[in-house]
Structure 1
Amino acid sequence: MSGDHPVSPPAGPEGLLAVYDEALPAVYGYVIHRCADRRVAEDVTSETFLAAMDSVRKHRDTEPTTPWLIGIARHKLADHWRRAQRTPEPMEELPEPPDDPWDAEVDRMVAHHVLGQLSPVHRAVLTLRYVDDLPVGDCAEILGRTVGATEALLTRAKRAFRAAYPQTHPQRSARGGHA
């Protein structure tokens, strides 16, 4: 009898192998939408599955699931951002965003571009807070900072984002007589 609920995967390494094909696109999709660099997304996704394999080998009763793997990916991405704070790397290309209505697509592209211009720590705190929708306390824990320091960082990151974001109201500059 087939129901609406799939059978739970087995525990341990066998369970990880059982969910791998289903979980890989979800984990990669989670990471690529948060880091905007295909190479980094591939590395973080690989690190996620390696860490998951280590975990299920140590704790054989663990039943791997896609949400569990995305949780590991979130931590691996935070690790990447911490490393990037120490040795920043410039972003070379932004991935093409998924098909959206044109205005939303342009806004997303501009936002990704502006995020790519920010420092890694500003990019990390803004992504954790506004893309992942995490409370400031969780952002602080992931970034290894106090809540107060994270709130101040968030304020500076938002200011830097606004300063780097292009003007979207051409009529304001047109008031000077030039269209």
Structure 2
Amino acid sequence: MPPPPHGREATLLPADAPGGPGQGQQHRPGPDSTAYMCPYCEAVLSNPAAAQCESCLRPLPQQGTPVLRVQFPTGELKVSVGQHLVLGRDAGQSPVAATFTQYDNVSRRHSTVWLDPSGTAWVRDEGSTNGTFVNGERLPRGVEAPLRDGDQLRLAADVTGTVQLT
């Protein structure tokens, strides 16, 4: 068995992993198929049910706290309350750049997704060349738009993900 992923890349579940997007539409990954991370210091949590982070010792959101998942063809991204995740091809700016490196029309720093304390998911275009779209509608640069369960989030022309709020 390969070693567990480390750092922010742990939010990515490859499409070919058990429970990944390529494994059937109705199946949702279980708690062991996606690594959980602290929304404050981004350390990978060995016990997602812990009351506080082992690294920064801050209290962790408990069960019932909303989670934003976006399933792209190349993997699933997971964002916890308070965490902002930059989507793009540049590993220096986007901790999940491996999800988008094969798409030349996705900007290095394309857009940002996050989940606010009230449980509302948001996306903002970061001045991308080819646009960020929610359900086919292009977002103006710098404009924040809410995301709902089932929305289609598209980066440029080629990369479409499905939003899940759990």
In terms of fraction of residues, the more strand-rich structure is 2
Is the shorter-chain TM-score for this pair beyond 0.5, marking a shared fold?
Answer: no
Structure 1 length-normalised TM:
0.28
- Of structures 1 and 2, the one scoring higher in RCO (CA 8 A, sep 6+) is 1
In terms of fraction of residues, the more helix-rich structure is 1
Structure 2 length-normalised TM:
0.29
